[in-house]
Structures are given as C-alpha cells and as structure tokens.
Structure 1
Amino acid sequence: MPALDTVQRDTPYGSAFLDDASQLLAMRTLLRKVESVSLDPVKSRNFIHRLAKEV
C-alpha cells in the first residue's frame, strides 16, 4: 500500500490540501530547514523566560 501523505496548509483564505509528490517534497524540505534552526525544548524555554523578564 503506498504512503498516504497529505499536508494541510491553512491560510487567511481557507485550507488547502497538498498531496502531489513534488508539493510534499517541498513541504518536507521546508520542515527540515525549520527544524535545523529551531531551539531544543530546554533552550527554547530559557529563551522565552529571558524575553519575559525583559518585557
């Protein structure tokens, strides 16, 4: 059975469902890029606490 991959993309104008192989590849690539620059949970929490103290 082939993989059942679908991406739901929400916009101010409604939702779009992407299931084309090239669209899914683009979304996976984007997700990998975002994950590569994201902080881990501990660093993220520390960053948020530091910002909250500055406000």
Structure 2
Amino acid sequence: VRDNPQVAQAVANMTALGRPGVPEDIGPMIASLLSDDHRWVNAQRIEVSGGMRI
C-alpha cells in the first residue's frame, strides 16, 4: 500500500479516518492488550481498522 499511491488512495477511501493504517496505528493496541490492564480480556475480536467496517 505504501509503495502504490493508487492502492493507498483506494484503501483511504474505504476508511472513516480517510487514510491507510500504519504500524504505529496497530502497535499501541497490541501493547495495550498484552498489558496487565487487559489480563481478563480473552477470545475477543477487536477491530483496529480505522473505521473500515462502519
């Protein structure tokens, strides 16, 4: 996606945030889920898609 402007724009058009996601968008959620704050969360599907499914 990052190397192809046409694909990046197509993905951006599908998200509520208007841009493709980058690793910095996903990493904090993963780190949060791995922390003790979420030790009781299990068997969940957590959407981190920039609003792609809204």
Query: Same fold by TM (over 0.5)?
Result: no
Q: Which structure exhibits the higher relative contact order, with contacts defined as CA atoms closer than 8 Å and separated by 6 or more residues?
A: 2
Task: Choose 1 or 2 for highest CA Rg.
Answer: 1
